[in-house]
Structure 1
Amino acid sequence: MAALAEAIGVDQKTVERWMTTGRTPYRRHRFAVASHLGIDETYLWPDALSREQVASASESEIITVYPHRWSVPRDAWGRLFAKAEREIGVLVYAGLFLSEDAGVQRIFAEKARAGVRVRILLGDPGSPQVTERGADEGVGDAMAAKIHNAMVLYRPLRAIDGVEFRLHRTVLYNSIYRADDELLVNTHVYGVTAPHAPVWHLRKVAGGDITNTYLDSFERVWEGATPLPGE
């Protein structure tokens, strides 16, 4: 408690009042506490912001909206992952385009060796969810084949400490590409293959809810996923 008070420049008794009486700190203090603890302000004080404030902050999280994944600049993926200092996350069924990108794989390897946690979630090729997605996109068994191809292409990366792979059996409504608190989210649209579906470029902003929604979704899928065979 004393350390927190010192870090944000307030008296220790002030922090005690926040914790024992339920008093809500001023906005500048809420932001300072959240930044110091690495926790979103709305998690600590869910009722501190009005709906209008949350909506405004959430709108500020949207950096760009691309009409199709193929319209995302090719180097945007590498630039996103190169920014990561704590966490890289990929949640896809196959995401074959990423596994085929030697530059991205090199970034993953370098980041893992530097202490960044790298987590990659692929669809279980034998799951009914993958079979259904293949049918929905009109590609049939090609979806499972793409996942097998991605697993082969990722083989060198799978041998690096700090890189974790799991298989999920989840109905995905979005593919998520994460670098710390910045995301590229590829929406899934029935009857449309992923390259032709829209992509949201998001960055977490204090008080916003959009990015946290996708980050929480990633964690839920990760918790229910299983390691790749042989790992």
Structure 2
Amino acid sequence: MPNDRLRDAILRNGMTPAGVADKIGVDPKTVERWITQDRTPYPRHRHAIAAIVRESESYLWPQAVTPEKASRLGQSELIQLYSRRSSVPYDLWRRLIDRAQERIDVLAYAGLFLVEQDPKLVDVLRQKALDGVQVKLLLGDPDKPAIERKSVEEGTPGVMAAKIRQVRQYYARLKGTPGVEVRSHETTLYNSIYRFDDEMLVNMHVLGFPAPHAPVMHLRRLSGGDLFSTYADSFDRVLAASTLL
């Protein structure tokens, strides 16, 4: 069976098997065998290819990374744990946004704090998109039961829906900007996810606590790790079920 994930990752990055072979110092036929015969490269070659195509080893070769190793790498992906979102320095949010070169992903119900702490955020996101960064903002549907249930659990009925409608007004200014998608979802969120290329802030949700008072993990993706990819996959699943506003 061919390794379609490896083939797709190489093509998606505008490369050829021969180009990859040249970069890592192997025969082009070797790379072809890795693709067509699904042979597993040596670890040093897996590391190099994963870095070139910006994918994890566990995605490209699921059987090559043992669960124990993936777990150890996942622990190394955790840069910092904040006891509450309000403890995350504003400079960190802005630095992650400014450094993003490929993608900015937001999965939340409202995430109103982002535009409240930086009134220029919408303009920054527009410019990032014009510079080639893909911006995807997934916001809750204020008319769905999950939204009101969240508000009731936090002791503030009606507030979450109001926040969503308010933040939609901010992001409406991005309508028509190439590379920007503002979408609606009705998922029950277990975490809010903020991704900036290979770094991510995950705001865990705790029953009865508003998001600013719940913990946040700062993650950085490592090849072969599975913690970052777990949340990246979660974002992609919600994205697939969301609708464009």
- Please indicate, yes or no, whether the TM-score normalized by the shorter chain is above 0.5: yes
| Residue in 2 that maps onto 1:24 | 40
Identity %: 51
Aligned to 1:51: 67
The corresponding residue for 2:187 is 170
Gaps of 5+ in 1: none
Asked if structure 2 preserves the Cα contact closer than 8 Å seen for 1:66 and 1:199, the reply is yes
Question: Is the partner of 1:154 in helix, strand or coil?
Answer: helix
- The Cα shift of 1:223 comes to 1.1
Give the 3 Å change call, closer, same or farther, for CA 21–148 of structure 1 in structure 2: closer
Check the 8 A contact 1:81/1:178 in 2, yes or no.
Answer: no
CA distance in 1, matches of 2:104, 2:32: 36
Residues 123-142 of structure 1 show CA distances to partners (whole Å, capped at 9, x for unaligned) of 00000111111111111101
Q: 1:150 aligns with which of 164, 167, 171?
A: 167
Alignment of 1:208-223 (within 5 A): 208-223=225-240
Q: Of 109, 127, 130, which aligns to 1:113?
A: 130
1:82 aligns with 2:94: no
Q: Is the 8 A contact 2:55 2:223 kept in 1?
A: no
Q: Match of 1:9?
A: 25
Q: If the length of structure 1 is used for normalisation, what is the TM-score? A: 0.93
Which of the numbers 138, 146, 150 marks the counterpart of 2:155?
A: 138
Counterpart of 1:207 in 2: which secondary structure?
Answer: coil
Separation in 2, partners of 1:227, 1:206: 32
CA contact 1:99–1:154 (8 Å) conserved in 2: no
Deviations 1:172-226 (A, max 9, x none): 0000111111101101000000000000000100110011111111111111111
Q: In 1, Cα distance between the equivalents of 2:69 and 2:88?
A: 30
Post-superposition shift, 1:119?
Answer: 0.7
SS at match of 2:90: coil
Pair 1:93 & 2:93 matched: no
Give the gaps of 5 or more residues in structure 2: 1-16
Whether the 8 Å contact between 2:122 and 2:173 is mirrored in structure 1 is no
In the alignment, does 2:210 pair up with 1:193?
A: yes
Q: What is the aligned partner in structure 2 of residue 66 from structure 1? A: 82
CA contact 2:85–2:214 (8 Å) conserved in 1: yes
1:46-78 CA-partner distances (Å, limit 9, x unpaired): 121223221111111001000001111122211
Give the TM-score normalised by the residue count of structure 2.
0.88
Q: Is the 8 A contact 2:101 2:197 kept in 1?
A: yes
SS at match of 2:177: coil
Q: Give distance in 1, aligned partners of 2:61 and 2:219.
A: 23
Count of aligned residue pairs for this structure pair: 228
- Give the residue type in structure 1 aligned to 2:237: R
Query: Matched residue of 2:26: which SS?
Result: coil
Tell me the CA shift for residue 21 of structure 1: 4.7
Deviation at 1:22, TM superposition (A): 4.2
User: For the aligned residues, what is the CA RMSD?
Assistant: 1.5
